[in-house]
A and B are shown apart, each in its own frame.
Chain A
């Protein structure tokens, strides 16, 4: 019987001695990863099909609008109207991107890994929300930029370019409003379920089933109900805020009574939009408080 000859091998475990980057960098990493996920970057080709289908369609529409304007001189839609015209595609993009951002993590149970890092609980949903807002803003803003470039290069003189720019900026602001409202509602719905399929269906159901309510409210015999009808549905709510803030840019049809009539309720629309976003974010944070506690 020989002596036991046990050896502890040094297999190279080391402590991390580099700089610890802290909360801001964690947030930044989650945000960048979120934006890339929304467009399927860094993922397989299959994950890119649906986001880039939507991007392709909006860019194609923008190119067509630009081409028509430079060839025939007819303004098909202003920058601000572009977001309204693309509302179905925005809904579809939210239904594609929001489940990718949050439902996958819920399904595969990686949230405890996130929360075992020194990440404040609210940072995870906020980073995802910010990522979705950015993705939607890029989706609506990039085509407008394309239209602007087309307009700027066919304009004569710097003054005309400056006028274009003044038209573009409210359009971009309006796109930002669309992005904030749709991202907060969509992400809240998606965070309810770990199944991407159900999340996508739920998002579309929420956005589409509210639209006919507006149709009903706008034919009720009460004038106040008609003028407030747009609040019932996210797309018309955003549109209402836009019309209140910049009527000339959204409604180019000069006929009397064109577009929805808000009456004196414009500020109510703005308040409702703020309340909707605030409510959705609050519910989202509450939801992640519950999920993280598990």
Chain B
């Protein structure tokens, strides 16, 4: 475990505001338990909880807060200089931070999704959701870490992607789903445990290839941007 990993993890967990991440997963499990306890048919509560809340809100929002927090927060308050002035290759800075972000996101999202999937259908659905969400967590984290190096307002850029691209456009124009991590996750989970609770127009092979491409591409982009990173004060 490198020092950068350690610093990043402490930066995330050391503040009280990390507790703000807890309500989202708790809500996910709570709603699943409530619906199960009142004997609502899984076909009715599965899609809104698993997809509507779990994959469309909890996963991207947690990934956004964590992913922009690991590097963006340091850039924001200027302490990134301390890491950049060490004789570390840039990839040794980006990769540990990405690993922490993806790991934290995956744990925060996959555990409640597993519980919800278990309550909805079977342990297999739960496991497949957890696996797919972890892959999605890695992709989202890579994207948002890269975004925090491309712009000074990474959260807003991330929100444009999550809200407008994935939320608004992929419901209206089906074609944009080919470029939507949310639909990759749904496709992967559906492939691992076929049920009628999950449905998308993206095929599993396309989803797997595109997820890998996004992870590799965004990571390389982040490393490249950090290589020529200029530290500037806050503007506007």
Q: Report A's interface with B, CB cutoff 8 A.
A: 43-44, 46-47, 50, 53, 57, 88-89, 91-92, 95-96, 193, 195-198, 200-202, 204-205, 208-209, 211-213, 215-216, 219-221
Contacts and interface: CB of A to CB of B under 8 A. Distances in A.
A11 B69 CA distance: 49
A44 B65 contact: no
Interface string B162-176: 111001100000000
B24 A209 contact: yes
Contact of B236 (A43, A96, A200): A43
Contacts of A212: 31, 48-49, 52-53, 57
Contact of A216 (B35, B72, B76, B160): B35
A292 B53 CA distance: 37
Interface string B122-138: 00000000000000000
A196 B155 contact: yes
B196 interface: no
B40 A220 contact: yes
Contacts of B162: 204
Interface size class of B (residues with CB under 8 A): 35 or more
A47 B236 contact: yes
A91 B163 contact: yes
Given A44-B236, A209-B57, A219-B44, A198 B17 contact: yes
A193 B17 CA distance: 10
B40 A88 contact: no
Residue of A44, A196, A201 with most partner-chain B CB within 10 A: A201
Contacts of B236: 43-44, 46-47
A209 B68 CA distance: 20
Contacts of B152: 46
20 contacts: A44-B236, A46-B152, A57-B164, A89-B164, A92-B163, A95-B156, A195-B76, A197-B73, A197-B154, A198-B65, A201-B159, A205-B24, A205-B57, A208-B57, A209-B23, A213-B27, A215-B48, A215-B53, A219-B40, A220-B38
B1 interface: no
B168 A88 contact: yes
Interface of B: 17, 20, 23-24, 27, 31, 34-35, 38-41, 44-45, 48-49, 52-53, 56-58, 61, 64-65, 68-69, 72-73, 76, 152-156, 159-160, 162-164, 167-168, 235-236
B42 to A, nearest CB: 10
B86 to A, nearest CB: 25
Contacts of B17: 193, 198
Contacts of A204: 61, 159, 162-163
A200 B156 contact: yes
Nearest to A193: B17
A196 B34 CA distance: 34
B52 A215 contact: yes
A208 B58 CA distance: 9
A196 B76 CA distance: 10
Contacts of A219: 35, 40-41, 44-45, 48
Nearest to B43: A219
Q: Top 10 A-B pairs ranked by shortest CB distance? A: A215-B48, A212-B53, A44-B236, A219-B44, A197-B155, A208-B57, A47-B236, A212-B52, A201-B65, A200-B155
Given A198-B17, A208-B57, A209-B58, A216 B49 contact: yes
A57 B165 CA distance: 12
B34 to A, nearest CB: 7
Contacts of B34: 216
